[in-house]
Structure 1
Amino acid sequence: MGWRTLVLLAVTLGAAGALAAAAWWAAGGGAAIGTGIRTGGGGESESAPPLPAQRPRVAAMSPGVAATLRDLGAAGLIVGRHGYDAWSDPALPVVGDQAGINAEALLRAAPTHVYVEFGGADQARRLLGPALSGAGAGAGRVTVRDLRLLTLDQIRGSVTTLAQDLSIGADRAAALLAAWDRALEPEPADRARAVGTVLLLHGTDPPAALGPGSFHQQIAQRLGLAPALVEGDAYTVLDSEAVLRLQPGTIVLIQPREPDAARGSGGPGGPGGPGGPGALAGLAQSESGGSGGAAAEPGWRWLSAREAPQRLGTLARLRVPAIEHGRVLLIDLDDGLLPGTGLIRLADALRAAVRLAPEPGR
């Protein structure tokens, strides 16, 4: 299991008490940056006095949130990142991760908005509140929001939440949501049946599946593909015998390459900054019906008979339709495991690959 997988599991599943350091630091008399806290959970808005008219400053303590902000063209608003976020600008200070929060770094970043992904607004209120609303605060307010990003609907909803919180143009958010919806339109039934049941793996030694309830399997199902694994958890460790019993018609390896550092760059008006095009320009394929028909789009490829064993290891010796018919797909988009709008590109990659799937006997 690679480090990106560990990042995904840590970020998505969270841990109770992950931000206890913030409360401790604040109790010791740390300076605060706001006169009040506005909290929300699950993307739901709560009434509160309006934020002062200033450019938002975002502490994105979730790589998935940071990914969506980049696709909204708002990377330039991020002033603090998660410790495992290798996709944002590396010059940004690390303000926390699942093991704890660097409260001093967080306060130094002076965010107007703090986004966490640890599993409940109450936890955010209890642990972040003392650090952000102590005595001697200035005139500003801080929005603290705990986003749940475990399902496709929750991830889609975060686009609207972020756009509204940060006053990002409605047209930009609408374009991203439209690209999201188009990317998840189902394929014709006969095309989906042609690839058989689909087994999604993010690791092969041991076989580590993205199973029921994972947003990756939800993507496959939205496209009309039948999952090979219908029992178990979102992240299920299998063995060779289990894969043999499943008899998958297609194996999809979701194994991200090294993060593209250029993706996270961009100040105001720049490629990733507010007012810049962000990733919307890169979603033109989604808006024009996806990338099907291209020979080999960046981010995916059907593995050759020589490549497949190198990726699959001992699984390559199994007598299952996916291997016998040469249907082993690699998707290596750098943000393919993050719970953000980069999943648009993953859905496009999966759709394009299905349209060009190897036929039996070829």
Structure 2
Amino acid sequence: MIYETTPKQNAEILAAAADSVAVAIGARVKNPHPLAVGLNLQTIAKTCALATQPRREWETEMSVMGRGMNTDLFGKTLAAGARQLALQTYDAQAAEHLTFTVPFDVKNFNPVEIVAADAQGVALELLGENAEVATGVAILDAGNATEVRLHTFAKNVGVSRRDVVNDDLQLFSAFVAGLGGSAARLEAELVAKALEGNPLMDDGAQAFAEAHNNVEAVALDAEALGRAMAKLRNQRTPGGQLAGLRARFLVVASDVEFLARQLLKDSGLADVVVVAVLSNLPEGRWYLLADPLACPVVAVLRLAGSTSRILVEPHKMPIHTDSAGVRVRCDTGAAIVRRQGIVRGGTA
């Protein structure tokens, strides 16, 4: 039977195609298109072919399908469906390090310096009756003087003719899901490296030092945690004020995760302080951080103007592979923004 469609049918199928791919590879799709569940890859590929150019007299069903697989339309459809799963697996894997970091946009891939403004450095003043409101001047904090830059991680994933014929996206799904999770793990590794790097700030001193009241060089226990909490309160802003920061995140190496959770439970702080784990930290390492809304400390770099943390784009596969493909890409980086709002613990 020859597969033929009208322009209206083509439009309806193509409108549902991305959701159909997303559902087929296991993504959680909110309010999928009504036609999404009933479609298969062959139908989508043939529709892409016919929407691009009418059937030629000599074309068979398989040649129409093959032509459709090579269209930009099929690549965009495949990418749009894959993007949903890649983002979901990224979000699931990145949930911990994204809670205590803040996004920082950079214009391009060139090295950049990050300058932090002292959010607590300008104090409100008591006004008398009919008094004039004074103009405040923002004070620059000791930002990271080390040049940081975006890193690009990418991988190509293909769907073969056999996969389309058999309507089988199992392998494609596994690769896309794995790459979304891989991007999150690579980003978490960069966050750990930024913390452990103890970079020079633009005042010429390192981020962590006893003089900055942000080091607790002992193993994690109740007493060390209490001292670290007090240090967050008693750190000074560049403007000279007491920071008065409340502990919000306890970031630990994997070997002390259980201890950290048990410690917070026993001390009644489990509802106040959240444990986050970075597997790339050295054994015994822990950090106590304030809420990033009050005092951002660790920045995750993003390319300015990017609409997504994970980019999934159509990619032309080599002709001899007889497949259609997508490229999964993540542009990211990490850096310490300031030395206030954090205490480094552990003997590593």
| TM-score bracket for the superposition, by shorter chain length | under 0.3
TM-score (ref. length: structure 2): 0.24
Which structure has the larger Rg over C-alpha atoms? 2
